[in-house]
Amino acid sequence: MSAIATVLIANRGEIACRVIDTCQRMGLTSVAVYSDTDRHARHVRLADQAVCIGPAPAQASYLNIERIIEAAQHSRADAIHPGYGFLAENAAFAQAVIDAGLIFVGPSPNTIEVMGSKAQAKALLGPQGVPLIPGFHGQAPSDEALIAEAHAVGWPLMVKAAAGGGGKGMRVVHDPAALADSLHAARREAQAAFGDDRLILERYLPRPRHIEAQILGDVHGGVVHLYERDCSSQRRHQKVIEEAPAAGLSDGLRRGLYDAAIKAAKAVGYVGAGTVEFLVDEDDASFYFLEMNTRLQVEHPVTEMITGLDLVEWQLKLAMGASVPAQHDIPPPTGHAFEARVYAEDPEAGFLPATGTVGTLHWPADARIDSGVDAGDAIGIDYDPMIAKVIVHGPDRAQALGQLQHALAGCFIDGVTTNLGFLTALSHDPAMVAGTVDTGHLDRALPDLLGPADLTREHTEVLAGALWARYCDRRTEQRLGTNPWAQAAGWRLGLAATGQVWLTQSLGELSPPSDTPSSPASSAEPTAVRVFDHGREVQWGEASERHVLTWHALHWRTLGEHTQVDVRVSIDETPVDARAHLHPRGHLEWVSHGRRHRVNIQQQWLGGKDDATATGLVTAPMPGQVTAVHASPDQPVQAGELLALMEAMKMELSIRAPFDGTVGSVWVAVGDRIEANAKLIEVVPAPPDNGQAD
């Protein structure tokens, strides 16, 4: 048995952190590699050692085989773990590791090469009795040859890159007249993605499920399965939410799928942890081999949750020559698990990657979080924008899905746009609840998942203004106590306190950079929401009628810089149950009935407008820079009139008059950098109209 004492992880982000965690638990020294831009990344901070391997572009660093081998030799590593992505399924890299006298934590270069080609894999596995989708998997050097084969395959059909996956080089063709153009486009995309423009043809299955089996293989020829995962929840062939085990499979189909996965692994002498992927026809009566991933999968944690096994630990053990246990010694699956992938991306802008610096980052305590990002870390343009994976486990599928919904509601991230709202909606989607999601469901259901929320815009902003007022009351009370003379919310004898906030709803997420194509429409004029009697009544915009709010329950919890509150409230007798997050920089969001609402408080004035002797102290809603000042002392202003502009986190914020009156003091000038809650401008209210002529 080959001993391993030091492991270099040839990767970054979440998977590098995941491997480091197991290495530390096993008493192994972990070595991180990093590019110049990742110098202060989380995986670098966690590792025992770290070696720089080049500049930011992946080709010059994480895909630079020579530099990675040099880093392993420099750090005296015994083995290299490739993680997933980058060089994880690169046969030349695996061979280079072996040639350098190091242990490659994964299968042999030959296995990677054979299973990395869909055409070769299917040519090998068909004679072994592994079910294949009807199609043409041979060598066709020209488009003309493929067009000739297409008629035998039948319509509709799918064009696929022979050498890759992830949806690249893939086209669905319904009309024979469109085949030539589809072949040309698929070849071009496959060449760009994989350096190989070979294509295969397969019969298109309209609504299949994507079910995969986890296997372990050893150097002695032993192979076992660790049950299956359902990865049908995909958007454009990219997985979003995964679960284990798969719901609704018959025992016979499940056993057949396991047997086929073991046959596939044995056919290539598989060593290590791998995944055999299948498409299950919509009637669940048949399944077909799709491909084999010769590495650890992103979704491996759901298998760990139902088996209690550490797959990274098993990868390392198998690389050292250990034997797999007998199949009957594998723990039976316990309960059900879900995983949701949290990305820095903007669902409202076509899921374009988003960039920025993560501000507040809070994860729920009742979920497993695999993450490569901490608060203060930057999300750049050079690499995959995954922030974390939220993983839960419950005694059955219904309870596990409820735990996922609860965990997603407990996540709070600001400073960068994320897909948390999309994940929340998807976790409540009827097909997800029923366990009937197929691989095309998300693309079909996308308009509904990104569509209008359960509350109207008016009710959403009414609740935001009222909740923000309650939050400010609570913060004031924490600072100053309950002395009414110290209250900043406009307490006075015999008259209910009032206040006003200006807010904007974000269609996507909080704090998007407004000068990038990934930012949602956040430049709309803010809505003025006037709050009475500590959030018991609210006037929205120019409406003359007030909404009545009845607060049934408020449970506050301080989580570092931000506050979480579980809310039960009725708005005009419409009940709302929500988990809300509020941040002193003016960020407010909550999850209610499967939708995530996000609001930016652009400006607030919490004082007694009804008291003619009061003054309006306009303060900064968040840290930023003053870009324009339109107010001067003694200037008459009307409610809502623009007083100044700020730029904060690349958003332009409008500072407006809280009521009719006269400008008093002006404390800022263009160019000033200011902190949150800093004094900006004072507005003295106009005297009340007593109905008498001048």
**Of all helices (H) and strands (E), which one includes residue 25?**
helix 13-26
Sequence-ordered alpha helix ranges (H) in 54-178: 65-74, 91-99, 109-116, 118-125, 143-153
Compute, in degrees rounded to 10, the torsion defined by CA atoms 94, 98, 100, 105.
Answer: 70
Separation CA 433–CA 402 (nearest Å):
9
**CB distance 661 to 685 below 8 Å:** yes
Is residue 295 flagged as an active site residue? yes
Length of the chain equals 694
92 contact partners, CB below 8 Å, separation of at least 6: 65, 109
In the DSSP assignment, the letter for residue 473 is H
Separation CA 567–CA 581 (nearest Å):
11
Quickly count: other Cβ atoms within 10 Å of residue 175's Cβ: 9
Angstrom CA distances, 583 to 338, 611, 632, stand at 29, 29, 31
Separation CA 117–CA 190 (nearest Å):
12
Q: Which residues pair with 390 in a beta bridge?
A: 340, 369
Separation CA 184–CA 162 (nearest Å):
14
Cis ω for the linkage preceding 245 (within 30 of 0) = yes
Separation CA 108–CA 91 (nearest Å):
8
Residue found under tokens 């998007």:
512
DSSP string computed for 58-72: GGGTTT-HHHHHHHH
In the DSSP assignment, the letter for residue 674 is E
Separation CA 342–CA 380 (nearest Å):
15
Residue found under tokens 């995954």:
386
Spacing of C-alpha 692 from chain mean position: 61
Where would I find the beta strands (DSSP E) of 518-650?
527-532, 537-540, 546-559, 562-571, 574-583, 587-592, 595-605, 616-619, 624-629, 636-637, 642-648
From 42, 295, 579, 595, active-site residue: 295
For residue 10, give the amino acid letter: A
For residue 528, give the amino acid letter: A
Which residues are tagged catalytic?
295
